[in-house]
Amino acid sequence: MRTTVILPAHNEELSIAATIADVRKYSPDSWIVVINNASTDRTADISRELGVEVIDIPDKGKGNAVRRAIPSLSPVDNIVMLDSDFTYPAESIPSMIVRLNKGCEVVLGYRKWKAPNAMPQLNAVGNKGLSLLAGCLYGYPVADVCTGLWGFRPGVLHRMSLKSTHFTLEAELFENARKLHCKMLQFPISYRARPDGSIPKLKVSDGVKIALFLVKNRTRRLK
């Protein structure tokens, strides 16, 4: 069974080549798709020069990028979503694929081992709080609801009803997995610091939006 690795990318010219090389090293048979999300730098050009497929999504926002690219992805492939900032280890992809092929429908890697300065303390605390909130609301303990490494069995991502435009995407993936009663599995991964000059895009205000999203959607489901 083939695996498609999707790399959502907004202005990641400093890291996209390293991310693609990392995927090719550890998962050489995977089909790589860069979802170019309104980049104004050379992200798309570098990706095309490296010979991977590029899907251009003009509307800014990670949710927009992934949601609008899904119809272009093969529904018979395993799909792995990996952030393109070179912080997540592609070496985890083979283990993820094994778990998907053994029957897990959604697999996520939670960031257990973090490199020094990989994540500001405020972000780490906020992520733990959001994960605890998601677990309580949806009745499934999740270690890292905002992780940028996800895997889906064929057709699962296509069945999800996604509406997110920005950084609520991961919370909505978790919500949909619970709503669809997917067999889920979590496993620990390492997390690297961004390359020098690469700027994090997630802000404190985004954490607040994710919390509100989780509460509002759960409340709506209960009604």
33-80 pLDDT, tens digit per residue, is 999 999 999 999 999 999 999 999 999 999 999 999 999 999 999 999
The range of the structural domain enclosing residue 201 comes to 3-222
Q: Residue with structure tokens 């960031």?
A: 111
* Closest C-alpha among 221, 214, 107 to residue 167: 214
User: Which position has the higher pLDDT, 205 or 54?
Assistant: 54
In the structure, what pLDDT confidence band is assigned to residue 110 with cuts at 50, 70 and 90? very high
Lowest mean pLDDT among 4-18, 40-54, 175-189, 207-221: 207-221
Task: With cut-offs at 50, 70 and 90, classify the pLDDT of residue 113.
Answer: very high
Runs of H (alpha helix) within the chain: 16-26, 43-49, 62-69, 93-101, 121-138, 156-159, 169-179, 204-222
Q: Rounded distance, CA 84 to CA 14, Å?
A: 10
pTM higher than 0.85 for the full model?
Answer: yes
Quick one: tokens of 182? Answer: 């997917």
* 184-193 tens-digit pLDDT: 999 999 999 9
Q: What is the pLDDT of residues 115-168, one digit of tens each?
A: 998 888 888 999 999 999 999 999 999 999 999 999 999 999 999 999 999 989
CA dihedral 106, 185, 25, 33 (to 10 degrees): 20
**Residue 103: both structure tokens together:** 């029957």
Q: Is residue 100 scored above 90 in pLDDT?
A: yes
Contact 62, 169 (CB under 8 A): yes
In the prediction, which pLDDT does 143 show?
Answer: 97
Whether residue 203 has pLDDT greater than 80: no
- CATH number of the domain residue 42 falls in: 3.90.550.10
pLDDT of residue 221: 61
Name the domain count of the chain: 1
pLDDT at 222: 56
Gap between the Cα atoms of 186 and 104, Å rounded:
10
Question: 169-179 and 121-138 helices cross at what angle (nearest 10)?
Answer: 20
Predicted pLDDT of residue 122: 87
Segment 179-205 mean pLDDT: 86
